[in-house]
Each structure stands twice: as C-alpha cells, then as structure tokens.
Amino acid sequence: MTHKKHSDWQSAEFCKKYLSAVNISTGDVHYGISSPGERRLRLMGKPENLRGKNVLEIGCGAAQNCIALSKAGAQCIGFDISRHMLKEAARLARRNRVRIRLLRGDAKDLCDILKANNVRPKDMFDMVLSVYSAGFICKNACDFTHFLGQIENCLVIKGTFILCLPHPKIEHLQGLCREFTETIFSINAVMECLLFNGFNVERVVEQYIECPAKMEKEGIENYPFLLKNHCASKTQKPNSIIYVARKS
Ligand SMILES: C[S@@+](CC[C@H](N)C(=O)[O-])C[C@H]1O[C@@H](n2cnc3c(N)ncnc32)[C@H](O)[C@@H]1O
C-alpha cells in the first residue's frame, strides 16, 4: 500500500478542476475511467432488481452513480466529505429530476454521521458503493479495515459491497490521473481486509482502457466515465479494479 499527500477535496478550485476534466454519465453506473459501466458488466444483477433497493454511495462526488441508480428505482444516499462536490451533486440531481439524499462528512465517521442524520446504519443498506474514493478516505491498512468494518455494519445480511479502485498498476497513466495523490491498495491487501471484515468476494474485475477510436465512436452511452483530455495508456495494463463482495 503506497500513500502520498492527499488530494484536497475541500478546495473549491481542486473540485472545479476535477469536474471540468471529466465527463461522467448519469445514465449508467461507472466503474472507472474509459471503461464499460454497469450496463455492460452487470455486477449488480438484473436492473429490475434495483427497484426499491436502499443504496449508499461513499465518496459520491457529484453523485452521477446515485443519479443513475435512482433512475433505475433505487433509493440512494450519497455521502461525501466535500461541500463543493455535494453542491454539484444537488444541482445534477435537480437537473435529472431525481431525489437523492446527500450527506456530508468524513467516511471515517460514517456510522456516527448516519446516526446523527436519523439514518439507523445497522443493517440499513442493500448495497454500498465506493468508486474511486477509498484511496482518498484511507491512508493505510488500519484505516481501510475500519472503513470496511463500518460498511459491513451498514449492510443487510447478503448485502452487496462494490468497491472500485485504481488498479495497483495505474502508475502508467498520465494527465489528470497523475494529480491524484491517493493510497494505492495492493490486490492482496484488499482481499485480506475484505475477508477479515466478513465479506465473501464474489468477483474481481480488472478494467482496461479500451481503444480510443472505439470509445470516441460509441461515446458516453457505453463508456460512462470519460476524461475530456484522454488519459492515454501506453501499455495494456489495467487502469481500475472492481471487487464485488457480499456480507456473509
Ligand atoms: C475521485 S472522486 C470520485 C467521486 C465519484 N465516486 C466518482 O466516481 O465520480 C473522490 C471523492 O471522494 C471524496 N472523499 C475524499 N475523502 C473523503 C472522506 N474522507 N470521506 C468522504 N468522502 C471523501 C471526495 O470529496 C471526492 O468527491
């Protein structure tokens, strides 16, 4: 696990820079840059099964995933530390005419903050999602174990946790990605922590940046997270990794 200085999500300027560099769909759940989303990967099961499900997204940013899930009939809470990202999330939700609840706080205190907002965390959520956020929330294995413990506490038995992280081999990426200073977790560390916290890991999916010409042709409909300045990959290494885990 490596960690450098953390990116500053409390800074309006930093958030503005991030938001202006990305093009993220509110019509499909994304799992990382320039890669297929939920419509293609089907990690959440049948789309109709999402109707009425309670979903929590941790580090939701501008909440595009919450919005996509709300459109599919889920009841979503988006949780994030940054008031600037949440302001954008509220604006996007209004524009998409969906109702999502947005809560602000540090995910290290997730359960306490949920309780303070009258959300009884214990066994509350059918699904918890963390896409590109755990590396900003957790500085080390100890933080990560604590983070997973809180998520386990929030989930119903057999509830799903989907964790999408930059792949440990992401170092090859350039451009915007280089500006993120987050903790990079080894696959072994993630697996160990998930198992330690009582999760069964059902799938591990490595995402590769697909052919730029194909992405340009198919666009955001098929690639729900695109960078405005394409983050070119010189090699065929994966850029993100998704763990689909279930509370046992
Ligand atoms: C790279 S963005 C990803 C946002 C969103 N999940 C997406 O995929 O577009 C990381 C997000 O994590 C949030 N974040 C960072 N540290 C956090 C913390 N300690 N608690 C809650 N959210 C945090 C940031 O504010 C930011 O919105």
Helix/strand/coil (H, E, C) string of 127-168? EEEEECCHHHHCCCHHHHHHHHHHHHHHEEEEEEEEEEEECC
Question: How much is the pLDDT for 174?
Answer: 46
Task: Indicate whether 220 belongs to any domain.
Answer: yes
- Residue 47 belongs to some domain of the structure: no
**Separation of CA 57 and ligand 1 centre (Å):** 10
Q: pLDDT value at position 4?
A: 41
Ligand 1 nearest atom to the CA of residue 63, by list position: 5
230 touches 194 (CB < 8 A): no
Please tell me the predicted confidence (pLDDT) of residue 179. Answer: 62
Range of the domain at 157: 12-41+52-247
Residues in contact with ligand 1 by the CB-under-6-Å rule are: 9, 24, 59-61, 64, 80-82, 85, 106-107, 131-133, 136-137
- Measure the CA–CA gap between 164 and 100, rounded to whole angstroms: 21
Q: Which of 30, 81, 111, 114 to mutate to test the pocket of ligand 1 (most atoms within 8 A of CB)?
A: 81
Q: At what angle do helices 83-95 and 12-21 cross, to 10 degrees?
A: 40
Task: Specify if 65 maps to a domain.
Answer: yes
- The enclosing H or E element of 203 equals strand 199-207
Domain assignment present for 46? no
pTM for this prediction: 0.92
Compute the distance from residue 192 Cα to the ligand 1 centre, in Å.
Answer: 23
Strand-pair category, 22-24 with 225-227: antiparallel
**The domain that contains 100 carries what CATH number?**
3.40.50.150
Tell me what pLDDT residue 137 has.
Answer: 95
220 CA to middle of ligand 1, Å? 21
pLDDT score for 222: 81
Strand order in the sheet with 199-207: 101-104, 75-80, 54-58, 125-131, 155-166, 240-247, 199-207
Does 186 fall in a domain?
A: yes
pLDDT for res 33? 84
Sole residue written with tokens 């590396």: 135
The stretches in the chain having pLDDT less than 50 are 1-5, 174-175
Q: What pLDDT is recorded for position 169?
A: 82
Neighbours of 47 (CB within 10 A): 13
The answer to whether residue 128 is domain-embedded is yes
Could you tell me if residue 238 is inside a domain? yes
Distance CA 221, CA 210 (A): 14
For the chain, the domain total comes to: 1
Asked if residue 150 belongs to a domain, the reply is yes
- Expressed in angstroms and rounded, the spacing between residue 111 Cα and the centre of ligand 1 is 17
